[in-house]
Structure 1
């Protein structure tokens, strides 16, 4: 998997693209990224800014952390359930 671009770089590219001073294909070429990547960054920035509906980056990170915590708690619960059954014998 390629290394992700720094967040500051993404913000700068999105800011330049939002000025509409050049075509998106030219902006993508100038910054050395694909046009599809630029479209994805613009779409994600619109969601984060509330322009488009969707899950923001912060909400996605929180959901990921909550799922990880839930998985850990389920594992701990299963261990305790097995221990209780073992000691009940």
Structure 2
């Protein structure tokens, strides 16, 4: 007995024609019966009837929202967009293993760096300029020569 209390069976989803919805909206807008009463008389949910009234107000320009035609167009565009994205993903997967340079994204590289594919332009190690600056011993070298005459050679280490 306790499991039946407070539990309602979910109502199956139904679809209605535009003409039927327009008749229900017209009944509600006449003012003879309340929205709740109209919904009860036609075995509809009050929420559905309120949504139909709101949409009718939008379609007639009394409310600023998407019209029914705009909603249909938006839904169609979203379906098309979803289908096109799936097509692009399929094409990406199909061309990923082909090794075609036009389908693989270019890697950003330093304009001055030698190309890896050309062995003749291999980078040569250079001692100067050092990448991180003069180095950590630069201060020591200048300190060792501090106060010396410019004509005298540096002190041997």
TM-score (norm 2): 0.50
Q: Which has the higher contact order (CA 8 A, sep 6+)?
A: 1
Determine helix, strand or coil for the equivalent of 2:49: helix
Separation in 1, partners of 2:28, 2:88: 49
- Within 5 A, what are the aligned runs for 1:1-89? 1-88=12-99
**Which deviations, in whole Å up to 9, do the C-alpha atoms of 1:22-81 show, x marking residues without a partner?**
333332233332333222211111112111111122111111111111111111112222
Separation in 1, partners of 2:98, 2:75: 35
Label 1:47 to 1:81 Cα distance change in 2 as closer, same or farther (>3 A).
same
**Is there any run of 5+ residues in structure 2 with no aligned partner, and where?**
1-11, 101-157
TM-score (norm 1): 0.80
Number of aligned positions between the proteins:
89
| Deviant stretches of 4+, over 4 Å | none
**Is there any run of 5+ residues in structure 1 with no aligned partner, and where?**
none
Label 1:48 to 1:88 Cα distance change in 2 as closer, same or farther (>3 A).
same
Label 1:32 to 1:82 Cα distance change in 2 as closer, same or farther (>3 A).
closer
